Structure 1
Amino acid sequence: MSRGKNRGLEVCGDCNSQDPPFASLNKGILLCSDCASVHRQLGTHLSIVKPLRHGQWNQSLLSFVHQINSHNANSVWEHLLLDPNSKLQKKKPTPKDSIQTKSQFIRSKHVNLEFVLKPNLNETSTNIEVELSKQLHASVRSANLETSLRLIAQGANCNYIHKDKNCTTPIHVAAKAGQSAQCELLLIYGADINAVDGSGNNAIDLARQNQFTQLADRLVEASYEVTDRIIYFLCGRKPDHTSGQHLIIPEQTKVEINEHLKIARGKLQLIPNKMFEELVMDLYEEVDRRETETIWSTICSNPEIGAVPFLVTNPHLSATRNQGRQKLARFSHAEFCGLLSDILVDASRRKNIANLRPLEQMRGNRESTNSDDEPLYDAVCEDDDYGHASLPSMSQQNATNNSLPSTSTGTIVSSQTNVATAADNNSELEQLRKQLKNSELTITELKAIVEKLSLENSILKTRIDSSPISQEVQLRIHDTPENSPTEPEPSKPLNVNSKRPVSMYEARQAPRDENRPPVTQSLYSVASNSSGSSSTTSLPIVDEVTKRTEIVTRRIQELWLAMQDLSSKDKFIPCSERIRLGVTDLIAIFPKTATDEHEILRSALRNLNVNTTAIQNECANLQRALNSENPTNIDVHLQQVRNCAYNLAKATKTLVTQFQQ
């Protein structure tokens, strides 16, 4: 322990290299360039990497990094390695070891948490979490960061509400005690600044009441971390929160706005608040990635090693959101800055609307009903595969404007609503009037576009209805099952080709295939959307395929997570059974006759069948090997399960991408 404290500020926490130029905020350790490159590849949900001597640092956060590192935070992640009674055979890499060797150690240490002291497994998981959370609640009132980090690593909840302590959370206790470093640690792990205790006070209120003015100002600044980072990326400066200035809107260039951009901005205003917060958080991470990537290319001797060209997949998010996050990297600098500017303008609009709403209405509409699985982004990750999204109606827009976001740490709208001061109310009202006027113009333009599209649709529908072939198709569709004739199979696969949208929040609309006859399109549309009367030879709709493949993907991820901790040996067979059920539901929507002429689809479905059976057998073999404690058999069956899981994931991706081509 003393050795770690003496060298804490001088060496890399993972390989002991001297003078490390990076830090991992949530791990509380310093990193050399090699180890930092591995941490960056893990993703920010596992390790938040930041260069120590470059970029913008808040002094409180920088002080926290050095303080937690000097408190030997690394001993939390290497507890079993430092324990002389431990039976682990692994050794810590040296500075001269290869990146591959360091990568294997880092993944064991920070992804699998193999060296962390495990809590008592004799109790139920719920009781363990509650007990750890109560200990964290008590720990944060002192300056012992190592203890708090250890409890968080073992599973303590940073937002645990202690009902016996006036319904306070750990950040309430830390703020009341003036422990700024503990507050920084809790914020990094997702503590909610806006949470109120039984007396209606949040952490900022408690810090001010106890004369910790500097800490209160830091908490206010932390509640605007997302928008401050975006504003600094655009303008090179930050708002002065002490004077009541919480937003800086960049000046818009006086260039004639085309019709597509007007529509895109109108649709941005129609996004529900929860989806808007998710989009802002994704943009925040993309800003961080771009800034870190720029610094990485200047200070690393070999910048190609460890480069992160797009945001790393986060398994806790839906597949559609992960795909949208990665596509943010394709925006040019000008396009990205334009999107950020539009986001800030709309954030200010939402904030002003929230401030003008009565408190009762604010509380009544606080929760959003949208889930993470709703398609904010594209349905699949292929460049040319875009799903359809219709323009919301005016009633939907009004419903959106009358809702408020849910509270979450660092989110843009909720934090602005709770921390806004009365100093800038007059200017905000004036700005709101201008924005409402612009919104009315946008709504008028959108109404005109909707009317134009409705007229075109009516004309097309009239032409299709007047076609003799179309009438025959409709009669077939509405026949009873026992009297309906056999439908002819389509002569070729149905192709949907689309172009890349202008912006991430623009609706995806695929142009009509010029080579496909209008009657064929009408037949496919009617057959896909009719309930209970569609032809047995038609392919399923895109949304249904995407939904069921995502279920299979999530269940594969559950199995993958279970494989990270071999002590949970009873989870493998249930995981494989859930995968089988998901694959069965997915295959069930593909009629056999509809895939006879689609070799790729048929091959993907066959691979799903084969690997589902194989993964069930291998999971059973793996569980038996774990029970017999045979290391050789365990390694063999682990590899087999990995191969089957990989083949299943590959087959689902092939299925969903080829289905839309």
Structure 2
Amino acid sequence: MSKRLRSSEVCADCSAQDPCWASINRGILICDECCSVHRSLGRHISQVRHLKHTPWPPTLLQMVETLYNNGANSIWEHSLLDPASVMSGRRKANPQDKVHPNKAEFIKAKYQMLAFVHRLPCRDDDSVTAKDLSKQLHSSVRTGNLETCLRLLSLGAQANFFHPEKGNTPLHVAAKAGQILQAELLAVYGADPGTQDSNGKTPVDYARQGGHHDLAERLVEIQYELTDRLAFYLCGRKPDHKNGQHFIIPQMADSSLDLSELAKAAKKKLQSLSNHLFEELAMDVYDEVDRRETDAVWLATQNHSTLVTEKTVVPFLPVNPEYSSTRNQGRQKLARFNAHEFATLVIDILSDAKRRQQGNSVTGSKENVELILKAINSRHNSENQDIDQPDYDSVASDEDTDLETNAAKASRQKSLDSDLSDGPVTAQEYMQVKNALMASEVKIQQLMKVNINLSDELRIMQKKASKLEKQNSMPESDYDNPTPSLELDEPGSGRKGRQRSVIWQGEGSIPENTDTDAAPSSTLPSTEDVIRKTEQITKNIQELLRAAQENKHDSYIPCSERIHVAVTEMAALFPKKPRSELVRTSLRLLTSSAYRLQSECKKTLPVEPCPTTDIQLVTQQVIQCAYDIAKAAKQLVTITTKENNN
């Protein structure tokens, strides 16, 4: 790690002295307390890394420090720099503020809501704006001005934009110009070093062609970042890419444990996943590795005499609203894997990633990733048949997290060896690891038993709520079952959105329209009517988000009811059977998200004997539902405007 540039650094969020964490995709340095909030938001919002206790690629650290020193924080606090903000009472947090609610609310507004960033003038066609911004990015990366490029990315420029006239991407331009820090920034925002230009060349090719050998080697590392990180987690080494070794596959010391039929079935299902689903699973496991490693650093750097503080604990991966609720549930289940199970999953992913890159095919299948996780999980559970698996996971306590972290460290000692190294770990070492795991497993089993009854009671309450919804508030339409939503990008998120489906997860499903006699209609309402209803929906959503920001949880239900009424009124403008598939998809997303919103908001009711609700998790789901509603309404405005103008 390079030396810190100067000693006068302050936290970007609260101005505390000597920050020891960095948010890579935001280009800022932050203190311990603010970092705890960043971690709770998830890596899709902020990618945190400790400045001293985490290994850094030198140029990545240089990129963050360059952004920090050139005022990257002003991008995220643009409107706060306006003197009018001081007059209106809007201010950033300070070191003396409490983490909750003061610092947490400010950080969420700053990075999750993007409340203070510069807003471009409204335009009818957002794609044109994104294209213009991406062209500016394409041109800017040939220079050394990182802050300009981060600003463009924060406004919605696409790191993987393929310039139609130039026939290449911004990463090709940066590589050709030898701009290694620009390449680091683009990669953080999702640029792919393996992308070919119109001549069939990759950014790596252009870096080598221009004599930028350090850049070329770094681009290869970035290309294998996911599998390198997984291998390093298990055995503390990375492949030697310079000499053509791109994968290390660690081996379990006691491989006999993985020869059961369940283990074989799990591996077979993993191999039969489509490339897209396999990539999603690998990305989720990468995020879980990051969470576990950051946890270890977090615990090592805290004052253990005062460990129970108001700092946020992250016991499992936070909800990513760009992903379906099914995928979010699968991601959170990864935290339940003990060290041995998780190491097995990581090894299986590394093995299959190598197989797929080498082009070895396996018969395709549409198995859900969730089945893979269940199959691997069941290797352990089959040895404990008296323990029933609840549908919903209990939340790990601070003590469990500490135990799991120790087990993970022990597991790393157990899994030291690769297919290129010096043999398996001894039986004695394995028994030491097994003993370390037992303490964690006993605690988890106790929590699972307690959770069984609570989960059953929760499901009963959800069924009752669903029945009431069916009886009291079902509109007569054919678009109440959600279907896969459109792919989306969120400016400033640091990662392309991959939300492929928004699935109704309540116990009672929303029924199909029974009016089969209605004829498909191509008639659409007037643009003015749709805009008016959208404005009403937006106003109600803003009210809900304000309640969330101010922790007024008792306002969730009345807000959700007003949103539901506004959504119903908007849906009533459209024919019962729209001819346009795009209209039907948007209406399904609109109405199903409104139902999900009501269901989530009802979880704030203090109903006995329902277990204590995790308000933070509910709030994240509420925000996701509100986002889906606003997105669907915007799609309908765009569609009706376009159709009515034709």
TM-score range, shorter chain: 0.5 to 0.7
Amino acid at match of 2:114: L
Cα 1:649/1:373, change in 2 over 3 Å: farther
Whole-angstrom distance in 1 between the partners of 2:287 and 2:98:
29
Q: Percent identity?
A: 42
Q: CA deviation at 1:624?
A: 9.0
Aligned partner of 1:113 in structure 2 is 114
Contact 2:168 2:196 (C-alpha < 8 Å) held by counterparts:
yes
Contact 2:142 2:177 (C-alpha < 8 Å) held by counterparts:
yes
Aligned partner of 1:130 in structure 2 is 131
Whole-angstrom distance in 1 between the partners of 2:276 and 2:159:
22
Aligned partner of 1:54 in structure 2 is 53
Whole-angstrom distance in 2 between the partners of 1:154 and 1:39:
20
Aligned partner of 2:249 in structure 1 is 249
Aligned partner of 1:338 among 300, 325, 344:
344
Aligned length: 430
Cα 1:242/1:549, change in 2 over 3 Å: farther
Amino acid at match of 2:125: T
Aligned partner of 1:595 in structure 2 is none
| TM-score (normalizing by structure 1) | 0.58
Contact 1:81 1:88 (C-alpha < 8 Å) held by counterparts:
no
Cα 1:272/1:81, change in 2 over 3 Å: same
Whole-angstrom distance in 2 between the partners of 1:120 and 1:621:
22
Whole-angstrom distance in 1 between the partners of 2:115 and 2:295:
30
Q: CA deviation at 1:589?
A: 6.0
After superposition, the CA RMSD in angstroms is: 4.4
Mapping for residues 25-44 of structure 1, pairs under 5 Å: 25-44=24-43
Aligned partner of 2:432 in structure 1 is none
Local SS of the residue matching 1:163: coil
Local SS of the residue matching 1:102: helix
Q: CA deviation at 1:240?
A: 0.8
Whole-angstrom distance in 2 between the partners of 1:277 and 1:234:
20
Amino acid at match of 2:511: A
Q: CA deviation at 1:337?
A: 1.0
Mapping for residues 444-455 of structure 1, pairs under 5 Å: none
Q: CA deviation at 1:273?
A: 2.0
Aligned partner of 1:298 in structure 2 is 300
Whole-angstrom distance in 1 between the partners of 2:366 and 2:603:
25
Q: CA deviation at 1:253?
A: 2.9
Whole-angstrom distance in 2 between the partners of 1:276 and 1:345:
12
Cα 1:27/1:648, change in 2 over 3 Å: same
Deviations along 1:16-75, one digit per CA (max 9) or x if unpaired, are 111101000001000001110111111111111111111221111111111111111001
Contact 1:320 1:375 (C-alpha < 8 Å) held by counterparts:
no
Aligned partner of 1:180 in structure 2 is 180
Whole-angstrom distance in 2 between the partners of 1:375 and 1:317:
17
Aligned partner of 1:278 among 253, 277, 280:
280
Aligned partner of 1:231 in structure 2 is 231
1:551 matched to 2:482: yes
Deviations along 1:405-445, one digit per CA (max 9) or x if unpaired, are xxxxxxxxxxxxxxxxxxxxxxx9x9xxxxxxxxxxxxxxx
Local SS of the residue matching 1:353: coil
Contact 2:44 2:320 (C-alpha < 8 Å) held by counterparts:
yes
Aligned partner of 2:600 in structure 1 is 649
Contact 2:556 2:601 (C-alpha < 8 Å) held by counterparts:
no
Whole-angstrom distance in 1 between the partners of 2:127 and 2:102:
37
Contact 2:10 2:29 (C-alpha < 8 Å) held by counterparts:
yes
Contact 1:9 1:70 (C-alpha < 8 Å) held by counterparts:
no
Local SS of the residue matching 1:131: helix
Local SS of the residue matching 2:358: helix
Q: CA deviation at 1:248?
A: 1.2
Deviations along 1:382-422, one digit per CA (max 9) or x if unpaired, are 95349xxxxxxxxxxxxxxxxxxxxxxxxxxxxxxxxxxxx
Amino acid at match of 2:58: Q
Mapping for residues 630-641 of structure 1, pairs under 5 Å: 640-641=558-559
Deviations along 1:554-591, one digit per CA (max 9) or x if unpaired, are 89xx9xx9xxxxxxxxxxxxxxxxx9x999x9442699
Local SS of the residue matching 2:482: helix
Of structures 1 and 2, the one scoring higher in RCO (CA 8 A, sep 6+) is: 2
Q: CA deviation at 1:252?
A: 3.7
Deviations along 1:223-262, one digit per CA (max 9) or x if unpaired, are 1101111111111111110011111121343543223222
| TM-score (normalizing by structure 2) | 0.59
Contact 1:14 1:31 (C-alpha < 8 Å) held by counterparts:
yes
Local SS of the residue matching 1:313: coil
Contact 1:12 1:32 (C-alpha < 8 Å) held by counterparts:
yes
Contact 1:310 1:326 (C-alpha < 8 Å) held by counterparts:
yes
Aligned partner of 2:262 in structure 1 is 260
Amino acid at match of 1:142: T
Contact 2:277 2:369 (C-alpha < 8 Å) held by counterparts:
no
Aligned partner of 1:196 in structure 2 is 196
Contact 2:16 2:94 (C-alpha < 8 Å) held by counterparts:
yes
Aligned partner of 1:206 in structure 2 is 206
For structure 1, the residue ranges without an aligned partner over 5 or more in a row are 1-5, 358-364, 387-427, 431-499, 501-538, 540-547, 562-578, 592-615
Contact 2:159 2:191 (C-alpha < 8 Å) held by counterparts:
yes
Aligned partner of 1:384 in structure 2 is 390
Q: CA deviation at 1:162?
A: 1.1
Amino acid at match of 1:648: S
Aligned partner of 1:542 in structure 2 is none
Aligned partner of 1:77 in structure 2 is 76
Q: CA deviation at 1:153?
A: 0.7
Contact 2:266 2:372 (C-alpha < 8 Å) held by counterparts:
no
For structure 2, the residue ranges without an aligned partner over 5 or more in a row are 376-387, 393-418, 421-440, 442-469, 471-478, 491-501, 515-531, 563-593, 611-646
Cα 1:587/1:271, change in 2 over 3 Å: closer
Q: CA deviation at 1:328?
A: 0.6
Deviations along 1:132-159, one digit per CA (max 9) or x if unpaired, are 1111111111111111011111111111
Aligned partner of 2:98 in structure 1 is 98
Deviations along 1:74-125, one digit per CA (max 9) or x if unpaired, are 0111111113365753111111111121111111111111211111214521
Cα 1:549/1:101, change in 2 over 3 Å: farther
